[in-house]
Amino acid sequence: MHRVGDEERDEGNLTRALTQVFGDLDPGLLETISTEFESIDVAGGSELFHQGDPGDSLYILLRGRLNVCVADPETGLETVLGEIAPGEAVGEIGLLTGETRSASLWATRDSRLVRIGQEAFDALAEKHTVLLRQLAKIVVGRLQERVSSPKYRPRVSTIAIVPARQKNGTTRFVDQLKTTLERSGSSLHLDSERVDQLVGEQGISMAPRGSAQDTRLGQWLGDEESRWDFLLLEADAEVTEWTRRCLRQADMVLVVGNSADDPVPTGAEAELIRDQNRSRSVRQLLVMLHPASTQAIDGTLRWLENRNVDEHHHVRVDVTADVERLGRIITGKAIGLVLGGGGARGFAHAGVYRALFERGIPIDWVGGSSIGAVFGAGMAMGWEPGMVEEQARISFVEKNPFGDFTVPFVSLLRGKRIERLARNTFVGNIEDLPIPYFCVSSNLTAADLTIHERGELWRAIRASVSLPGVLPPAVNDRKLAIDGGILNNLPVDIMLGRSVGKVIAVDLSATKEYDLEYSDVPGPLEIFFSRLPFTRDLQVPSIVTLMMKATVMASDIHSKAVRNEATLLLSPAVERFGLLATADFDEIVDVGYRHARKALKTWQSE
């Protein structure tokens, strides 16, 4: 933490900030208050104070931005609750009550604040009670925000782009990203050379910390940030003062790597990895660049093993759809699609996908459970709707994966057919998929949910569809895995933890009503004879239906709880179809399509 003398204080910013915090005060009182504050500079990525520290000071932010973070008492992991913008005060609760800090504050870019201590403030407040009233208003306002505000999503305005190695295609990519971001707001692309030109001073981009040039450049960047919606700061490939400044200023860091390069971090990126503080307050995304002609991606795991990034995304150079997807993810406008489980009723997912495609609604992230994991994987592979339907028809109708019955020591089916289909259809790893994807399975060994976001795609799908009693469990990392629908049949809550702004969920958890004409469940002979012609058919669920319904009952309760969290919930009327009704493939697809087409048209018009 570096203190700046009074002679360097930005008097104009201080006056405006004090007026914003304490209201319109007498000029003489305003001058008196300002002399009691001292200026403090905090480097981006540094902590101003820590949760549990003494609450003996009030701070007002003049320039920069701060994140408010609270640590989980058990894990120690920090969650960002909000941000402090220029002109806002922080630390007022501790100053009034004497309590310790309830949260930690991290600078997300180089920031300048002013500070007044407890003793100095008490002396002023004793003479000027208006200060206490104004501070109390701030406290009340903050408490009201906590109650009424939706879940906080960090605002991204300054993005640092760090080349993983040399600037091999990075500048071209940044120009394409800038064009995409301009659909959401004005954008400015800066590198060290461009900064020198715009500021009008050769070499100012390399100004060392604490120098007069550093102060001037910091003020200039602050002005540019207020002028533009997005600043794209392209760092040098090597470690320079400009690279360090880019990292200190960023709300988000994009590490851009060429898929053909060596994946081992070097230069500027290695500096980023060494700076552990950045991971506390700034999201880091790995962007893998591929040739436009790329059909199948591989080798992503080698890049991820050396990095602690929050997400990774694939972009084919000059493929507009890929850059636009990344732009939506950065700006919080991405659309996540969640596909629920439901056996053969899941064929409706293919119809929903066709309707989304026809309405021009992009899918930026896909998640699924059980049969939803299967259809979601095809979408994440980049298949168009016709391909998804064709592959599903071949797999579930023509090849009948549910026909390999066995002696039921572990399950009714051997599971070899569905395993062979999964191996042959879903080749490659999840992390190599062009569209981000996850699916869920239930860990029978540890009794918890597994979220599959890396590793062999077919294995994840095999685990997610392993309905107990029907299919044998899958083995993942020497642990038994069963159907994802057991614990989470509609993983909307998991999708909300990803970088999406809207979630479309397809819920297939329909309830079938049985018109019972008996007081006790009929025996096998009664059921057999009831199936003969000219007899009344007794409505008794089959053994497979019983197992499938019983295993997802608890998860259905969870699904009901998360339905309202989806931006758009689609519930095709598939309850009349059996959970193994593969012969009704085309009709189920059509039900999903018609329902989604109508619902999406209404949604888009609102």
At 588 the three-state DSSP class reads helix
Task: Spell out where 139-228 has E strands.
Answer: 158-163, 187-190
Give me 325's structure tokens.
Answer: 């997807």
The whole-number average pLDDT for the span 227-252 is 93
Asked whether the beta carbons of 154 and 251 are under 8 A apart, the reply is yes
Give me 505's structure tokens.
Answer: 């969920």
Hey, where are the domains in the chain? 2-147, 158-331, 335-512+556-604
| pTM reported for the whole predicted model | 0.86
pLDDT digits (tens, 9 = 90+) for 271-304: 777 775 444 568 899 999 999 999 999 999 999 9
Asked whether the beta carbons of 181 and 327 are under 8 A apart, the reply is yes
CATH of 2-147, one of 2.60.120.10, 2.30.110.10, 2.60.40.420, 3.40.50.300: 2.60.120.10
At 479 the three-state DSSP class reads strand
Q: Write down the catalytic residue from 187, 370, 411, 464.
A: 370
pLDDT digits (tens, 9 = 90+) for 165-198: 877 678 899 999 999 999 999 999 999 999 999 9
pLDDT digits (tens, 9 = 90+) for 388-446: 999 999 999 988 777 676 666 666 677 788 889 999 999 999 999 999 999 999 998 88
Q: What pLDDT does residue 548 have?
A: 63
Tell me what the pLDDT averaged over the chain comes to: 86
Q: What pLDDT does residue 9 have?
A: 42
Residues above pLDDT 90, as percent of the chain? 52
Active-site residue, 483 included: yes
pLDDT digits (tens, 9 = 90+) for 90-132: 888 888 888 899 899 999 889 999 999 999 988 988 888 888 8
Q: What pLDDT does residue 93 have?
A: 82
CATH of 158-331, one of 3.20.20.70, 3.40.50.410, 1.20.140.10, 3.40.50.300: 3.40.50.300
The whole-number average pLDDT for the span 356-363 is 98
Cα four-point dihedral sign 452, 453, 455, 456: positive
Distance spanning both ends of the chain, measured CA to CA: 50
Cα four-point dihedral sign 535, 538, 542, 545: positive
pLDDT digits (tens, 9 = 90+) for 125-166: 888 888 888 878 777 776 666 555 556 667 789 999 999 987
CA-to-CA dists, residue 245 to 249, 307, 358, 535, angstroms: 6, 21, 45, 82
- Using CA atoms, how far apart are residues 571 and 317, in angstroms rounded to an integer? 38
Asked whether the beta carbons of 358 and 387 are under 8 A apart, the reply is no
CATH number for the domain formed by residue range(s) 335-512+556-604: 3.40.1090.10
Asked whether the beta carbons of 204 and 196 are under 8 A apart, the reply is yes
Angle between helices 348-358 and 371-380 (to 10 degrees): 30
Is pLDDT above 90 for 357? yes
pLDDT digits (tens, 9 = 90+) for 63-80: 889 999 888 888 777 888
Q: Which residue has the higher pLDDT, 358 or 63?
A: 358
Is pLDDT above 80 for 349? yes
Active-site residue, 370 included: yes
Give me 142's structure tokens.
Answer: 């903050």
Is pLDDT above 60 for 581? yes
Give bridge partners of residue 452 from the DSSP assignment: 439
The whole-number average pLDDT for the span 505-522 is 67
pLDDT digits (tens, 9 = 90+) for 518-573: 556 666 666 555 666 656 666 666 666 666 666 666 666 666 778 889 999 999 99
Q: What pLDDT does residue 139 have?
A: 72
- Using CA atoms, how far apart are residues 14 and 17, in angstroms rounded to an integer? 5
Q: At CA 42, angle to CA 36 and CA 43, rounded to 5? A: 165
The whole-number average pLDDT for the span 229-238 is 94
Q: What pLDDT does residue 536 have?
A: 64
Q: Write down the catalytic residue from 483, 507, 556, 584.
A: 483
The whole-number average pLDDT for the span 466-474 is 82
